[in-house]
């Protein structure tokens, strides 16, 4: 398996380079169709597992 690079964005998603597939918490596999994908870490996205920038309009605790 080739190596993936993960970059955590403060208050944002994880940017993942080099992944073909992302497996979510339920074990469902999602195909990564672009060279870099952003995976939601805040849980607010409307299109999991991908970030849709909803974190920017979320009220911070």
Does residue number 12 form part of the binding site for other proteins (CB under 8 A)?
A: yes
Residue placing its CB nearer to other proteins in the complex, 29 or 33: 33
Q: Are 8 and 17 in contact (CB under 8 A)?
A: no
- Within 39-58, which residues bind other proteins (CB under 8 A)? 46-47, 50-54, 56-57
Cβ proximity to other proteins: between 27 and 35 the closer is 35
Q: Report the residue count for the chain.
A: 61
* Residue 9 interacts with other proteins (CB under 8 A): yes or no: yes
By CB under 8 A, residue 37 contacts other proteins = yes
**Beta strand extents in 1-61 (DSSP E only):** 5-8, 14-17, 21-23, 29-31, 36-39
């Amino acid at each position: 398996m080739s190596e993936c690079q993960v970059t955590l964005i403060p208050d944002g998603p994880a940017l993942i380079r080099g992944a073909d597939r992302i497996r979510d918490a339920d074990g469902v596999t999602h195909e990564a169709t672009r060279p870099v994908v952003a995976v939601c870490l805040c849980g607010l996205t409307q299109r999991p597992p991908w970030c849709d920038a909803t974190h920017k309009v979320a009220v911070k605790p």
